[in-house]
Amino acid sequence: MKDFPAVFPRILGHEAIGVVESVGENVDGVVEGDVVIPHFLADCTECVGCRSKKGNLCSAFPFKISPWMPRDQTSRFKDLRGETIHHFVSVSSFSEYTVLDIAHVVKVDPTVPPNRACLLSCGVSTGVGAAWRTANVEVGSTVVIFGLGSIGLAVAEGARLCGATRIIGVDVISEKFEIGKRFGVTEFVNSKNCGDKSVSQIIIDMTDGGADYCFECVGLASLVQEAYACCRKGWGKTIVLGVDQPGSQLSLSSFEVLHSGKILMGSLFGGLKAKSDIPILLKRYMDKELELDKFVTHEMKFEEINSAFDLLIKGKCLRCVIWMGE
């Protein structure tokens, strides 16, 4: 993006864990010294959206790619010349210090290892939550995951926890299957090797009519359509997690929508309410149910962050934890 809200300079980063250094006026829920996880999706606990059990979208502080604090649309960051440095999705975690609104922070158990707890700030929570909260995957279900990056693998982990019997991964890199097996993936389709059939037709044939749940974790409208096409008629759900280009459009047959009885829905932050659901997931990790360790392939110092991005771009890491200090 070249135009607003793509502004510069800005402190990026939105997955983290930290310690409360100080607390402003009228802030309840955390005190100095508390261990907290920031989250980009607000959870004010008070508005209609946050009180409802039907969703996780805060109506008081709707999600925006905003360069400001959510309440007063100002920045808390300045450079040495006194000029404004902008925020990023209410977190800005690539910094030793940041400033968060209380609606974007949850207090957590300080005994959880920080290099694992930080994973639940966004990515792993989003994937696991999409299977657990958004889709509500049942025991014995068949699940298809389009894209086996970190988000897709987190969906597989969530589906495994929910008791799915078949977890089919779809990707263009065959080596992803071996990685996926560690997260519960049972079968694999390389979408480049489908011959004269579409990937959705391959899935329909494999599942004798379609999957119970399909998750799109790449961010391509064409894959959303493929996922919708291969979820089972009558009750199949297609969950969209991938972030597509602004302005991308879906094209679905109105006749098919009516007669197929399927569900197509988005899942922002995996349908989780951060203040209540992140502590649940952390407990499941400590109880050795949720497996977070396998997501972390590298750990580096803050000064090595560019090397971490190189690993990410080359597809050589899942999650690289950045340590700010000892």
Domain architecture of the chain: domains with CATH: 18-123+272-323 (3.90.180.10), 124-270 (3.40.50.720)
Given a cut of 90, whether residue 245 has pLDDT beyond it is no
Chain segment 221-235, per-residue pLDDT in tens:
999 999 999 999 999
Strand partners, 84: 78
Q: How confident is the model at residue 20 (pLDDT cuts 50, 70, 90)?
A: very high
| Contacts for 198 with CB less than 8 Å, ≥ 6 apart | 226, 229
Specify the higher pLDDT residue, 4 or 260.
260
Q: Classify burial at 269, counting beta carbons within 10 Å of its beta carbon; exposed 0-12, middle 13-18, buried 19 or more.
A: buried
| Cα-to-chain-centroid distance, residue 163 | 20
- Considering the chain, what is the average pLDDT of its residues? 96
Chain segment 46-94, per-residue pLDDT in tens:
999 999 999 999 999 999 989 999 999 999 999 999 999 999 999 999 9
Q: Are 78 and 60 in contact (CB under 8 A)?
A: no
In angstroms, rounded to a whole number, what is the distance separating the alpha carbons of residues 314 and 149? 12
* Tokens read off for 32: 């100095």
Kind and range of the H or E run holding 321: strand 319-323
Chain segment 122-136, per-residue pLDDT in tens:
999 999 999 999 999
- Name the residue among 133, 115, 159 with its Cα closest to residue 296: 115
| Cα-to-chain-centroid distance, residue 93 | 16
* The model's pTM: 0.95
Strand partners, 105: 38
Q: For residue 246, what pLDDT is reported?
A: 82
Q: How confident is the model at residue 326 (pLDDT cuts 50, 70, 90)?
A: low
Task: Give the DSSP letter of residue 232.
Answer: P
- Mean pLDDT confidence for 40-47: 97
Kind and range of the H or E run holding 49: helix 48-51
Q: For residue 214, what pLDDT is reported?
A: 98
Q: Are 236 and 213 in contact (CB under 8 A)?
A: yes
Q: Are 141 and 162 in contact (CB under 8 A)?
A: yes
* Tokens read off for 258: 């009516």
DSSP 111-146: TS-HHHHGGGGTHHHHHHHIIIIIS-PPTT-EEEEE
Chain segment 274-319, per-residue pLDDT in tens:
999 999 999 999 999 999 999 999 999 999 999 999 998 988 899 9
Query: Which amino acid makes up residue 61?
Result: F
Q: How confident is the model at residue 4 (pLDDT cuts 50, 70, 90)?
A: confident
In angstroms, rounded to a whole number, what is the distance separating the alpha carbons of residues 139 and 162? 6
